[in-house]
C-alpha cells in the first residue's frame, strides 16, 4: 500500500511538472514582444492607438527628447527667416559634457539654422538661444512648454529647461513623449528636419568659416553599408530625436512609415545589452517590425461620406429627406486577423431633429469602440432643410391637382372628339353605299 501511494505521488508530481512547462510556454506565446528597455511604448500615429506599452506612464528623465517640444514651440511662434542673437547665458549655462554647436556670443543666426543644429546634432546651446528669443528667458519658455504639454494631454510631464539638461524636476513619460512625437510629426517642417542626416552651419557675422559640420544622432535613419550586428539603419524610419544623460540613460522618440501607416516608438532608460549592442535601437526595430507584420489600418468611413438618409419632421417636401454626412475620416487600426464585419458603430442622432436645419450643422455622432480605443466623428447635415409652409404646401398641391385635371380634360376631350369624328365618318360612308 505504501509503495502504491509513493508511486502515485511521484506520478502526480510528474504530471504537475509537465503541466507547468506547458503553462509557461503558453504564457510566453501570448506575449510575443520582448524589450530590453524599462520604459517603452508603440503607438500608431494617425489613430493614437497603443499596441504595446511597458511602464509607459513612469515619470523619468527625458534627456534631449525634450528638444521636440522646443522645436514645435519655435515653429509655432517664429518664421524660419527670423534671426536670434546668441547670449552669454545661452552658451555658458550648458554644463560641461553636454553637446553644443560651438556658437559664439553675439552671433546672429536664423531660426532655420538654429532648428537644424537643435535637432540634428542635439545642440544644447541652440535650445537656450531659441528659448530666450521666444520667451525672453529659459524660465519663461519652460512655462510655455508646460502649457503646451497640458494642451496636448501630457499628464506625466514637467519641463524646467528647453534642452533636457538633467534636473530632478524635469521629467516626462514614454506615453507623453509618444503624444508629443505624434503631434510634432504633423508639422511638415519638423518632419523634414528630423529626417535630415547632415548639416553644415553657414558662416555668420562672428564666425567667418563654414566648417561647423554636424551629423544626426539617430542611427535609425543613417544608411550604413556595413553588414554587422551594430548596423541599426531601418529603411522605413522617418525620425525623430534621441537623448542621453547619465541619469536618463539612452532615450529615443522614433517614427517609421510603411505602406501609408506610421508608428511612433518611445524608448526611455535603455542601456547596452549583454553583447554590447544598443538596447534602444534593437527595441525600436523589434517594435516597428511587430507593428508592420501584425496590424493594418481600415478606413471605415471616408471624410464627408454619406452615412444614411433621414426624414426630417416639419420640413418642406423638397428638403425633408436629409443626407447624414460623416465629418471626418474614420480609420481603425486592427490586427490583420480581425473580423471587420463584426465591428458596429454607436450612432447618436439629435432627438430634436426638426426643420429648419442649416447645412453642415452637427446633428449627431458616430463612435466605434475597438480594443479599448475610441474612434469617432461628428455627423453633419448634408444640406439645408427648410421649414414647412402650410400655405405654400397647399399652393403646391393645388397646382399639381390643377395640372392633372387639365391633362385629364385635354386627353378626355381629344378622345371624345376622335369618337365623334369616327362616328360621323362611319355614317357618311354608310350613306354613300346606298
Q: Give tens-digit pLDDT for 223-282.
A: 987 777 789 999 999 999 999 999 999 999 999 999 999 999 999 999 999 999 999 999
Q: What pTM, to 2 d.p., does this model score?
A: 0.78
The pLDDT value recorded for residue 150 is 98
Q: Give tens-digit pLDDT for 101-122.
A: 999 999 999 999 999 999 999 9
Q: What is the CATH number that goes with domain 39-295? A: 3.40.710.10
The pLDDT value recorded for residue 214 is 97
At the top level of CATH, the class of 302-381 is: mainly beta
The pLDDT value recorded for residue 80 is 98
d(CA 123, CA 66): 12
Mean pLDDT of all residues in 58-82: 98
% of residues, the chain, pLDDT over 90? 71
Range in 6-10, 341-345, 349-353 with the lowest mean pLDDT: 6-10
| Stated length of the chain | 434
Instruction: Tell me the average pLDDT of the chain.
Output: 88
d(CA 116, CA 216): 10
Confidence of residue 5 (pLDDT cuts 50, 70, 90): very low
Range in 1-15, 120-134, 255-269 with the lowest mean pLDDT: 1-15
The pLDDT value recorded for residue 393 is 59
Domain definitions of the chain by residue range: 39-295, 302-381, 389-429
Confidence of residue 414 (pLDDT cuts 50, 70, 90): low
d(CA 379, CA 349): 8
SS in 3 state form for 35-47? CCCCEEEEEECCC
Q: Give tens-digit pLDDT for 182-230.
A: 999 999 999 999 999 999 999 999 999 999 999 999 999 999 877 777 8
Which is more confidently placed, 107 or 370? 107
The pLDDT value recorded for residue 368 is 93
Using the predicted structure, report yes or no on whether residue 7 has a pLDDT greater than 90: no
The pLDDT value recorded for residue 23 is 34
How far, in Å, are 418, 426, 427, 429 from residue 432 at the CA level?
21, 10, 9, 5
Helices marked H in 250-366 — which ranges? Answer: 279-294
Confidence of residue 288 (pLDDT cuts 50, 70, 90): very high
Amino acid at each position: 500500500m505504501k509503495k502504491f501511494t509513493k508511486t502515485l505521488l511521484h506520478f502526480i508530481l510528474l504530471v504537475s511538472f509537465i503541466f507547468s512547462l506547458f503553462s509557461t510556454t503558453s504564457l510566453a506565446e501570448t506575449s510575443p514582444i520582448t524589450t530590453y528597455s524599462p520604459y517603452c511604448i508603440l503607438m500608431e500615429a494617425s489613430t493614437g492607438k497603443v499596441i504595446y506599452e511597458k511602464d509607459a506612464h513612469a515619470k523619468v528623465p527625458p534627456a534631449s527628447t525634450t528638444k521636440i517640444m522646443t522645436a514645435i514651440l519655435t515653429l509655432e511662434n517664429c518664421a524660419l527667416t527670423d534671426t536670434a542673437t546668441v547670449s552669454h547665458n545661452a552658451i555658458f549655462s550648458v554644463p560641461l559634457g553636454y553637446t553644443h554647436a560651438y556658437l559664439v556670443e553675439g552671433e546672429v543666426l536664423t531660426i532655420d539654422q538654429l532648428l537644424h543644429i537643435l535637432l540634428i546634432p542635439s545642440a544644447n546651446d541652440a535650445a537656450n538661444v531659441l528659448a530666450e528669443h521666444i520667451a525672453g528667458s529659459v524660465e519663461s519658455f519652460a512655462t510655455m512648454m508646460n502649457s503646451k504639454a497640458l494642451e496636448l494631454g501630457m499628464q506625466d510631464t514637467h519641463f524646467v529647461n528647453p534642452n533636457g539638461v538633467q534636473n530632478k524636476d524635469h521629467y516626462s513619460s514614454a506615453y507623453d513623449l509618444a503624444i508629443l512625437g505624434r503631434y510634432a510629426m504633423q508639422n511638415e517642417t519638423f518632419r523634414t528636419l528630423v529626417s535630415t542626416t547632415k548639416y553644415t552651419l553657414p558662416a555668420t557675422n562672428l564666425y567667418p568659416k563654414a566648417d561647423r559640420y554636424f551629423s544626426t544622432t539617430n542611427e535609425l535613419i543613417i544608411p550604413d553599408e556595413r553588414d554587422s550586428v551594430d548596423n541599426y539603419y531601418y529603411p522605413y524610419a522617418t525620425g525623430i530625436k534621441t537623448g542621453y544623460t547619465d541619469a536618463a540613460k539612452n532615450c529615443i522618440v522614433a517614427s517609421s512609415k510603411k505602406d501609408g501607416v506610421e508608428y511612433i516608438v518611445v524608448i526611455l532608460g535603455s542601456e547596452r545589452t549583454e553583447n554590447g549592442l544598443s538596447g534602444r535601437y534593437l527595441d525600436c526595430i523589434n517594435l516597428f517590425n511587430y507593428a508592420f507584420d501584425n496590424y493594418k489600418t481600415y478606413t471605415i468611413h471616408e471624410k464627408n461620406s454619406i452615412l444614411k438618409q433621414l426624414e426630417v419632421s416639419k420640413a418642406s417636401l423638397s428638403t425633408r429627406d436629409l443626407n447624414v454626412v460623416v465629418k471626418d475620416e474614420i480609420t481603425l487600426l486592427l490586427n490583420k486577423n480581425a473580423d471587420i464585419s463584426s465591428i458596429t458603430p454607436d450612432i447618436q442622432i439629435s432627438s430634436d431633429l426638426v426643420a429648419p436645419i442649416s447645412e453642415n450643422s452637427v446633428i449627431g455622432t458616430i463612435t466605434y469602440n475597438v480594443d479599448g480605443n475610441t474612434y469617432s466623428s461628428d455627423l453633419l447635415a448634408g444640406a439645408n432643410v427648410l421649414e414647412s409652409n402650410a400655405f405654400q404646401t397647399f399652393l403646391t398641391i393645388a397646382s399639381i391637382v390643377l395640372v392633372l385635371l387639365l391633362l385629364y380634360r385635354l386627353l378626355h376631350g381629344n378622345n371624345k372628339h376622335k369618337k365623334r369624328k369616327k362616328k360621323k365618318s362611319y355614317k357618311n360612308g354608310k350613306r354613300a353605299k346606298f
